[in-house]
Structure 1
Amino acid sequence: MKRKLNEDFTAAVGALCRLPGGEALRHLTESLENDDPSVAIRINPLKEKSLPEGMRRVAWAADGVYVDGLRPRFTFDPAMHQGRYYVQDASSMVIGAIAGELAGDKPVIYIDSCAAPGGKTTAAISALPEGSLVIANEYDRRRAEALCENIIKWGYPDVAVTSCDTAGYTRLGPIADIVAADVPCSGEGMMRKEAAAVEQWSPALVEQCAALQRSIIDNMWKALKPGGYFIYSTCTFNRTENEENVAYIAETLGGIPVDMHLSERFETIAPGIDTPYPAARFIPGRTEGEGLFVAVMRKPEDEAAASQRHDRRKESRQKEKHSSGAATTEAWIDGDDYELTTDGDRITALPKRWLTTINLLKKNLNVIYAGTEIAIVKGRDAIPSQALAASRLLRRETWAEAEVDYSTALQFLSRQAITLDDAPKGIILLTYDGHPLGFVKNLGNRANNLYPQAWAIRSTHLPDERPDVLKTEKS
């Protein structure tokens, strides 16, 4: 069905087309009115050894593939809930690729300042050097919960999730090697996917978003180390929210432009419009993906500030709380680089390398998740968490396992009671396709489902046939 675009928006695109570099937008409105959005997924290299065969690759994303044909019903694919892949617009995958190129080969501190629902965060996790600390923030608490769920399912243990205004990050001092700011925007690039993006657009919305973006830039620039990289992105087309904000970073904050040469490396990616600063534009009708703008800036070096930062971080060192419950769960995880701590009835594995930084976050921000939740203490028992089942830290030989079929996997993910034949009593790790699915407590005649209620599939009908997105051909 043809979409009817706002006449003011169409006129604004026409004006952009007449600027230097604007000719790349010449087919934009036609595509927004008539084309369906592309569908893509990004494979989790922590859980899948290779990409699915027979699927077209996303040129700028090593783990990205397009899903051709009818859009699968992803909700009913256990592999997605296992964190083996993430459904993400192909254009957005470039943020992870950029982060990986900027980071080099040593662990970094990476902050994703406007992170929900988690696609760009998990893309960065996959691209950054092993051992990097990834901090993801989302102001809206409901969206922050979804962000937390997706990061947990991805299975990487060196993470922290906060839910706060970015102004809170100014209290930390310059701690991040890389800051990503995929800022709230007018959403012009989402018009093929979301009817609301078409309906809500107005010139006033553009100005309102630009003002909010400037405040986020100002806040997060303060959290960036001297010499660190700032990745600025939007899912919109106008220059007010894009090139003009890049100019602000360069000319007001002193940012040094970094050219990733994306428009030279990939012919379907366009450069910025009427700007002396390097940038990249992903444009529907030209690029196979939705609208995206991205630019990279580097913060000038400042040795004095770096020295002050070191002293401040040293002073923030705190002792973690331990308990006998934490000691009993040490055998549940692999690796000696994590310290088990308790907070109320929760036992969590925190990366030793980043304890000081995580404590700094907890002191200054609303941290809703950090590290890997290992267990919940109930009376004298420690019950393994779903986060442990999803995590790379899981020591699988600790548990008796039961491989389940597609129907049983869906029942588990819907938080229904299930029955296991020939399984011992006690805690059982369910697997599907040979990958961990989650825990149940087997009582013999039935098994208590330990999957989080908030994550459960809510559907009155569960299909019999699996959407085999990863081409595993499992029944």
Structure 2
Amino acid sequence: MSSRQLPDEFLAMLTEMGLEELKTVLSEGEPSTSVRLNRLKGIQESDIDFGGPAVPWCDSGLYLDSRPRFTFDPLFHQGGYYVQEASSMFHSHVVAQLTAGISSPLRVLDSCAAPGGKTTAVIDVLPEGSLMVANEYVPSRAAVLRENIIKWSSPSVIVTRGDTASFRRLKESFDIVIADVPCSGEGMMRKDDEAVSQWSPGLIRECAERQWEIVGNLWPTIKPGGYLVYSTCTFNRSENEEMVGRIISELDGESVEINVSPECGISPGIGTAAHCYRFLPGRVRGEGLFVAVIRKPGEPRAEKRSSGKEKNTKNKPSQQLSQALSWLQAGSEDKYTIYGEEDRISAFPRLHADMLKKIKKELDVIHEGVLIGNVKGRDLIPSQSLALSPLLARKAFPHCELTRDEALAYLSGEAVSLPDGTPRGFVLLTFHDRPLGFVKNIGNRSNNLYPAPWRIKSKIN
């Protein structure tokens, strides 16, 4: 591969920061490929056909020696693993330390969450019963975030679409706020040619202004004693150490140290006494990342939460609600409220019903808990969210195990031939005995219910 032509002003900045080593790494180096296994689904290294050494700061992360065609692996569509840049898996390590020894459920906001890698990495390490709110401003990116959250299959997530300013009214609502803020993208120059072509000192200034605005929007939402996990994928100090310094000095934040093994190769901040963590390609097997944790002053206060006993059953016949409940694991109604809204029936954790109500007043909620099904006439049609959810009662549906070729055909939107004797109605398709999605068997054929926007568009070899 020919060398990338990096901007002269950018190269001069690296020299000034003492990072001359990055010049060759960024101009000639190639990014590595890595995945993070979905332990919530019980996925182990033996369940995948590829794999390599572990990512040092994430016990569910694996480096790959080459990049497979993930699109043609059914397990990828089942949410068995997430293709994620290794450096960004560090957020799971950070949150795991911040929550060590905590057994009570927490409330966490990932404010700039798309496409969902950091969100799902953090979900994996939260105390049982915790709530994750994942937000994205750009509609197209929010749609991708929603898809990835549904595939990862945690039932305690709200996906929102909106500006971070909308969260200002949710004062002191979150124990941890993650702000992986939009940045100049210097750390992605090996992966994204646009990161090279768009770079300029002016872009850095614009990004820093926007980052401070985002921090200002999010700081009020953090509970006293809570944490802001601030990160970028860039190298310059204006968006990194200087921004952290401003949070500490102007908002009275406290820098928090995160324990990391020296063998990880993670570098400290530059020109600061604050605890900062720099991922520098060449020193780590990963792309550029900057992370810092800032604690909000004050002491945590006891919080009164709704029991969630009330149900929202408006406009939904009890027969459909009863049917929806029959599709869930026994005992689900004890922890989840089952309710109808417009043409949907959903399940959402009772413990966080009050937060859902608050958020719906301020933001556009595009996914919540588990979408059990959509009402169409008198029918309730089971959703893909239900198919992949741990709340699914598999015995509620007849099963049909597919071969790999059949699974890929289904994921491409093609009709699936069911074995003779398959009952009419909704049928759960599986691959390697893991749910893949639903079809409706109408006798002479089956209707493919896999979401059209998620279908494989590429030609299958």
Residue 274 (str. 1) matches residue 260 (str. 2): no
Do the aligned residues in 2 keep the contact of 1:411 with 1:418 (CA within 8 Å)? yes
CA contact (8 A) 1:4 1:33 kept: yes
Kept in 2, the 8 Å contact 1:317–1:356? The answer is no
Task: After TM superposition, give the deviation of residue 265 of structure 1 in Å.
Answer: 4.2
SS at match of 1:368: strand
Alignment partners' CA distance in 2, 1:31 and 1:345: 53
1:70-128 deviation line (CA, Å, top 9, x unaligned): x1111111111100000000000011221122123321001000000000000011111
- Whole-Å separation in 1 of the counterparts to 2:262 and 2:119: 24
Contact 2:36 2:62 (C-alpha < 8 Å) held by counterparts:
yes
- Within 5 A, what are the aligned runs for 1:47-86? 47-52=41-46, 55-69=52-66, 71-86=67-82
1:372-387 matches, cutoff 5 A: 372-387=370-385
Q: Which residue of 2 aligns with 1:219?
A: 217
Determine the C-alpha separation between the residues in 2 that align with 1:462 and 1:189: 33
Report 1:48-447 matches (<5 A). Answer: 48-52=42-46, 55-69=52-66, 71-103=67-99, 104-262=102-260, 264-301=261-298, 306=301, 320-322=312-314, 323=316, 324=318, 325-334=320-329, 335=332, 336-422=334-420, 423-447=422-446
**Is the contact between residue 100 and residue 129 of structure 1 (CA under 8 Å) also seen in structure 2?**
no
* Structure 2 unmatched runs, 5+: none
Once residues 267 and 152 of structure 1 are traced to their aligned partners in structure 2, the CA distance between those partners, rounded to angstroms, is 32
Cα deviation, 1:328-353, whole Å, max 9, x if unaligned, reads 21011122311111111100001001
The CA distance in 2 between the partners of 1:265 and 1:110, in whole Å, is 29
Q: Is the 8 A contact 1:27 1:286 kept in 2?
A: no
Secondary structure of the corresponding residue to residue 252 of structure 1: helix
Shift of 1:255: 0.6
Identical pairs, percent: 49
* AA at the equivalent of 2:274: Y
For the aligned residue pairs, the C-alpha RMSD in angstroms reads 1.8
Could you tell me how far 1:327 is from its partner in structure 2? 2.2
1:46 matched residue in structure 2: 40
Which residue of structure 2 aligns with residue 472 of structure 1? none
Q: Please say if residues 419 and 445 of structure 1, whose CA atoms lie closer than 8 Å, have aligned partners that are also in contact.
A: no
Partner of residue 5, structure 1: 6
**May I ask how many residue pairs the two structures share in their alignment?**
448
SS in 2 for 1:127: coil
Evaluate the alpha carbon distance shift between residue 206 and residue 265 of structure 1 in structure 2; reply closer, same or farther with a 3 A threshold: same
Under a length normalisation based on structure 2, what TM-score does the superposition of the two structures give?
0.94
The CA deviation string for residues 222-270 of structure 1, in whole angstroms up to 9 with x for no partner, is 10000001100000000000001110111100111100033x5444110
Distance 2:7 2:21 in 1: 16
8 Å Cα contact 1:231-1:296 kept in structure 2: yes
State the distance in 1 between where 2:8 and 2:206 align: 20
- Contact 1:327 1:340 (C-alpha < 8 Å) held by counterparts: no
**Conserved? CA contact 2:57–2:264, under 8 Å:** no
CA contact (8 A) 1:317 1:359 kept: no
Residue 30 of structure 1: how far off its partner (Å): 0.7
Q: State the alpha-carbon separation in 2 of the partners of residues 345 and 91 from structure 1.
A: 41
| C-alpha contact 1:347 1:373 (8 A) present in aligned 2 | yes
Q: Aligned to 1:5, what secondary structure does the other structure show? A: coil
What code does the residue aligned with 2:215 have?
Answer: I
Q: Quote how far apart the aligned CAs of 1:26 are.
A: 3.6
**Alpha-carbon shift at residue 444 of structure 1 (Å):** 2.8
- Please state if 1:34 is matched with 2:31: no
The verdict on how the C-alpha distance between 1:272 and 1:166 changes in structure 2, with shifts beyond 3 A counting, is same
Q: CA deviation at 1:457?
A: 1.1
- Distance in 1 (alpha carbons) for counterparts of 2:234 and 2:104: 33
Q: 1:412 to 1:272 in 2, by over 3 A?
A: same
Contact in 2 for aligned 1:318/1:359 (Cα 8 Å): no
Structure 1 gaps, min length 5: 18-24, 464-475
Deviation >4 Å, runs of 4+: 316-319
Matched to 2:55, the amino acid is: V
Deviation at 1:65, TM superposition (A): 0.4
Secondary structure, in 3 states, of the residue corresponding to 1:389? helix
Shifted more, 422-431 versus 248-257: the winner is 422-431
Q: Which secondary structure does the structure 1 equivalent of 2:361 belong to?
A: helix
Cα distance in 2 for partners of 1:50, 1:458 equals 28
Q: 1:287-345 CA distances to partner (integer Å, 9 max, x unpaired)?
A: 10010000001111157xx58xx58x77x998633531222210111223111111111
Contact kept, 8 Å, 1:38 with 1:289, in 2: the verdict is yes
C-alpha distance in 1 between matches for 2:82 and 2:242: 32
Which structure has the higher relative contact order (CA within 8 Å, separation 6+)?
1
Please tell me whether residue 15 in structure 1 is matched to residue 16 in structure 2.
Answer: yes
Deviation larger for 186-195 or 49-58 = 49-58
